[in-house]
Amino acid sequence: MTNSTRATFALGLALAALPAIPAAAEVIEAEDGHFISRNEAVVDASLTETWLALISPSQWWASEHTWSGDAANLTLTPQAGGCFCEKIPEVNEPDRFTLEGSVEHMRVIQAYPEVALRMTGALGPLQSEPVNGVLTIAITEVATPEINGTRIVWEYNVGGQMRYPVEAISQAVDGVMTLQLTRLSDQLGVLVAPTTPAVPDPDGGPEADPEASEQVGAEVVTDGEPDAPITIDPEAVLEDAEAQEAEKPSGPTVDEAFGDLGGPG
């Protein structure tokens, strides 16, 4: 790849990272068999530091969203065809013995150091459905009079036939994706944190969370007073979506769907 081609590619990813601050987390599309979750954050780290952290999910992925219950069992090989995988440790107890197992969460289709990581795969409960997802994580430098750091744009595009109501599962997945980005950002030093996803409106369409904070630069302002960068409570997202699903006549609840993420039992 020539220097000109590299520059064009990097510019395209930079444009994809717009709009600028503040960060946002939202389901930008949700139709039958298809949804897109998009999240952003800005961290106080260089491109190199951000890339090295990104390809080490065992250091920041939430353990409650693994099959083994321990994020230390996660590995990611940042090469085309590489695996974002999880080891299921063997059990060697007096009354029970099993061999070691494994899970493929996603497969790498593009690893462009300090620019982009793209993987395909159906995460969590979507693994049981004939769907596929494309997770694109783009990183770019941010240099403004107010803030200097690295922007992380995190987009998960899912399509295919699924048994879960799209309106509910999209909001739940968005919440979990925001949780992972929040944990990565916290590790690197968050400047602009992902915002809490909107609370679904029972009458249709999302509405702003009345308790959500407004992000200004590197701070979060709540009722006019600076506060710590916000993170999300994924359980609240799941409960909101599950409350809507309770009125539907068929289909698994979001709680049932996301039981897969907690691992066996």
CB proximity list for 177: less than 8 A, separation 6 or greater: 25, 37, 39, 154, 156
Look at residue 26 in the predicted model and tell me its pLDDT. Answer: 82
- Own/partner pairs, 53-61, CB within 8 angstroms, 24+ separation: 53/184, 53/187, 53/188, 54/117, 54/137, 54/139, 54/152, 54/184, 55/111, 55/117, 57/84, 59/187, 60/180, 60/183, 60/184, 60/186, 60/187, 61/180, 61/183
pTM flag (> 0.85): no
Look at residue 191 in the predicted model and tell me its pLDDT. Answer: 95
Look at residue 214 in the predicted model and tell me its pLDDT. Answer: 33
Nearest to 245 by CA among 233, 229, 230, 256: 256
Distance CA 243, CA 250 (A): 14
Cross-strand bridge partners of residue 142: 149
Look at residue 245 in the predicted model and tell me its pLDDT. Answer: 52
CB 261 within 8 A of CB 176: yes
Look at residue 11 in the predicted model and tell me its pLDDT. Answer: 34
Kindly give the confidence (pLDDT) of every residue in the chain, 265 residues in length, as a single tens digit, with 9 standing for 90 and above: 444 444 334 434 433 333 333 344 589 999 889 999 999 999 999 999 999 999 999 999 999 999 999 999 999 999 999 999 999 999 998 999 999 999 999 999 999 999 999 999 999 999 999 999 999 999 999 999 999 999 999 999 999 999 999 999 999 999 999 999 999 999 999 999 987 554 444 444 444 343 333 332 333 333 333 333 333 344 544 455 456 555 554 555 656 656 655 455 4
CB 260 within 8 A of CB 127: yes
> Per the structure block, which two tokens stand in for 188?
């690197």
In SS3 terms, 136-168 reads as EEEEEEEECCCCEEEEEEEEEEEEECCCCCHHH
Look at residue 259 in the predicted model and tell me its pLDDT. Answer: 60
DSSP per residue, 193-220:
PPPPPPEEPTTSSEE--TTPPEEETTEE
Amino acid code (one letter) for 246 = A
Nearest to 126 by CA among 148, 101, 150, 105: 105
